[in-house]
Chains A and B, each alone.
Chain A
């Protein structure tokens, strides 16, 4: 399943300039706040709380910060291609340049986990990841996220 049900075309940041992990998360939280109309502070706080348990850098330069936001209407995804890769304290120590933020409403339950699994698995596909890295254009990035792992292979 593609990720288009999670991300809207305006939720793509094609060349985000940040210097470190903290800044990356803060910028994503700010953008998410604008798009969802939720409090930026709340979003930042839940994301940082999750990072405290362990980095959401999942390896191969990809990070998937996520969390649960009680007042959110529906699942919300936001994708950023960082201008320059930054250290994300990922387990494999690789700098991260592809970040997918996923916020879930309180009652999402199993849907939340399924959505997370879909994001994780799509961004694990080397073909998808390479295509995302080659692109600096919001529309092109959106098109890649619309791929399914199978169609990309």
Chain B
């Protein structure tokens, strides 16, 4: 019977810890502290070194939970990444995820060698353990802080943090193997890396497709779609790992595939994974906190702090500036990407690998890894919003985004129900118009459900539900954002005609007879602005192209979205325009002051 009691007590304690973790989020949010640090703190306090006194030294269990949690987090990360975003930053993010990890590890190692008296290879292991940025920490901090970054910076950070884990894990395992069983030849290491990457990529791709196929073909009971996908993700992870491919890479890619194809139960899947990744984060951080001994951590605190400082101020920036040199990023953007090199659970997780295989000095690696991660979360995590403002990377929230409700309609995939609340300043209320592919089906007004005919015209506070194709639902947002009319830029100041910043110079030249050199025909307008201005454009910035003036019309998330084409001024300048222009200028200066 005693063993039954142990089980009950384990359940009780485990559940209580998760609860404490969830509650700690309230405290953390109030003080703006990084949430993940709070979870880690709960584990630390509950452990045998802290007041909780729970005895936990099961590295195997911690590693298991950590692997599952990481798998789910990476899958979720892939699921939420648009394929177009992924492709657009694959080159910079991929370089950061591979070369960047190596450079970071190599530059951090000398400090470990110096302060801890380790052999060079052991020092490199310390570097490798803390070389990867943590997907969970980065996704989470960027979202939880409500930061809106220039889209390319945001995408690079997210894709980097998701794809560098597999590489850092690989590096750590190879180093551990060399330390355990002796030398490996370079060719053997490269072969191993190729095998991991290629197998991981193939299994991820195929697995993702298979999941989509099964999900759309099989009539699973309602509510089982999401768990099916989550289990599928873990099958892919486990399979890839068992075949010595990178399971971490595989789940991320599988998530990318599933997230970018039409599937049923999409919204429930997102909601389910949201909850699952939260739990995974909490479980992983609390367990890793439990595994650590505060008193032991303090023993190596000084060298660990020195290593953390080198990592944050030297190794990461050097790696970022080196890797991003070929891609157009401004110095400020590179500085910001350096600073958001957040370490997280992956670091501690990797630091537990030496413990798992009982490597010599395993405890040391673990303690150093733990402290470095904690310092990174504390220092970098806490200062990210400040850094974003200081480096002028963050974009003020200009428009409150419209809250969209999406409901699946089982039985088909081509349409879903999309709901919005009608806000006072929304274009819909002012003009009552939507694209023809969106069909108004239901109006909820004062707790009553009406047909569009019964409701006649929309009023403020109504909830409207449209039938629309899921992939286009997002474009309905613009009709429902609460946008004070005064905030719309006066279009007459910013061009006669408008084109997307993605249009190429060649396409414009074709229509407007503009002189464009042949090697520039495929340059997009946003690149042309960057090239001509040497910085991120601000609204109203002008660039000449032959007889027309191009003007930055709309900027969103520090990215040029729409360009105004100002045709040659007519014979007589229009005085009212000049006055309006001056007024707008003054208003802008005031706004900035």
A contact residues vs B (CB 8 Å cutoff)? 19-20, 49-50, 53-56, 58-60, 64, 66-68, 85-87, 91-95, 108-110, 112-114, 116-118, 120-121, 124, 149
Contacts and interface: CB of A to CB of B under 8 A. Distances in A.
A93 B479 CA distance: 7
A121 B496 CA distance: 8
B512 interface: yes
Contact of A53 (B496, B503, B547): B503
Tell me if A's interface is mostly helix, strand, loop or mixed: mixed
B498 A19 contact: no
Contacts of A113: 512-513, 547-548, 567-568
Interface stretch (B16-24, B43-51, B352-360, B432-440): B432-440
B431 A93 contact: yes
B562 A54 contact: yes
A108 B547 CA distance: 14
B496 A116 contact: yes
B433 A116 contact: no
B58 interface: no
B276 to A, nearest CB: 38
A85 B433 contact: yes
B491 A92 contact: yes
Interface residues of B, number: 33
B435 A91 contact: no
B523 interface: no
B479 A118 contact: no
Contacts of A19: 436
Interface in B532-556: 547-548, 553-554
Interface in B554-571: 554, 562-563, 567-568, 570
27 contacts: A19-B436, A50-B511, A53-B499, A53-B511, A54-B498, A55-B498, A60-B491, A68-B511, A85-B431, A87-B433, A87-B436, A91-B491, A91-B498, A91-B554, A92-B491, A93-B431, A95-B433, A108-B513, A109-B513, A110-B568, A112-B512, A112-B513, A113-B568, A114-B567, A120-B497, A121-B570, A149-B574
A20 B436 contact: yes
A64 B498 CA distance: 11
A58 B511 contact: no
B427 interface: yes
Contacts of B554: 91
A53 B500 contact: yes
Contacts of A93: 427, 431, 478-479
A58 B497 CA distance: 6
B12 interface: no
Nearest to B499: A54
B511 A117 contact: no
A122 to B, nearest CB: 10
A56 B497 contact: yes
A95 B496 contact: no
Nearest to A20: B436
Given A53-B500, A91-B491, A93-B427, A67 B511 contact: yes
B331 interface: no
